[in-house]
Amino acid sequence: MNMISPPPLAAPPADGFDIPAYSASGNERALFEKAWEKRLPLLLKGPTGSGKTRFIGHMAASLGLPLFTVACHDDLSAADLTGRHLLKGGETVWVDGPLTRAVREGGLCYLDEIVEARKDVAVVLHPLTDDRRILPLERTGELLSAPPAFMLAVSYNPGYQNLLKNLKPSTRQRFVSISFDFLPRNKEIGVVAQESGLDESAVAPLVDLARRLRGLKGQDIEEGVSTRLIVYAASLIAAGLPRQEAVMAAIIEPLTDEPEVRAGLVEVARAVLG
């Protein structure tokens, strides 16, 4: 039997290379590295702002992998990922999309919020997520084999699933999956303080407010407060903006456009912050 050696890690980052900060909440780093070693596709699932995209950036930089990130949306089609013929200088030329580039060159291709894309995207991904690891390009007649240095990762927010937008079991079961959630209180305080420059004692009430508001998800608000929003609020406070204004601009206003709901959130903020 021919043994297949694991793909070699890319060259480590050079001194001074900027690796996005990331605070692990479990064994996600080790799981990512094992999935990379065994050439397994990866699915990240969790609420908005729980660190999925930051984690991907951190791991790609840590391992020295080229990163091809695609923010999925309603109009994203398979052609947007694979490529298309374009008119340049009076000639029609083929231009690779980000997925095709990642397969040709090697690297990590990350599709953020995969359920937002059109249904034909999943069809293109299927042959890349089984033992074939191939990408058929019908428009050019090519059949690309993914190199050992290629990895596919996708993410989605299960809280936004509905009858029209969900990840089919036939697609979901092609991936190794990692569940993400918000950090424990003390870790989240440390992360926000580090990224905003605000003292932990001043950050703590903001995190407590966010945790309180997250309990309203699915009732008054569609999504909980992300760590990102807490960082925004703390950054504004660190820059000299009064706390009440910073919380309003960075936490309350982004959560809702409904006046009655906003008023209710303000009351919660007053109760928590004093």
- pLDDT below 50 — which residues of the chain? 1-16, 162-164
DSSP 184: P
Instruction: Note whether 40 and 176 are within 8 A (CB).
Output: yes
pLDDT given for residue 11 in this prediction: 42
pLDDT given for residue 23 in this prediction: 81
This prediction has a pTM of: 0.83
Instruction: Note whether 50 and 112 are within 8 A (CB).
Output: no
d(CA 253, CA 238): 19
| Type of residue found at 87 | L
Which residue carries 């609020």 as its tokens?
Answer: 233
pLDDT given for residue 47 in this prediction: 86
pLDDT given for residue 273 in this prediction: 94
What average pLDDT is seen over the chain?
A: 88
pLDDT given for residue 160 in this prediction: 58
pLDDT given for residue 9 in this prediction: 41
96 Cβ partners below 8 Å, 6+ apart? Answer: 82, 83, 104
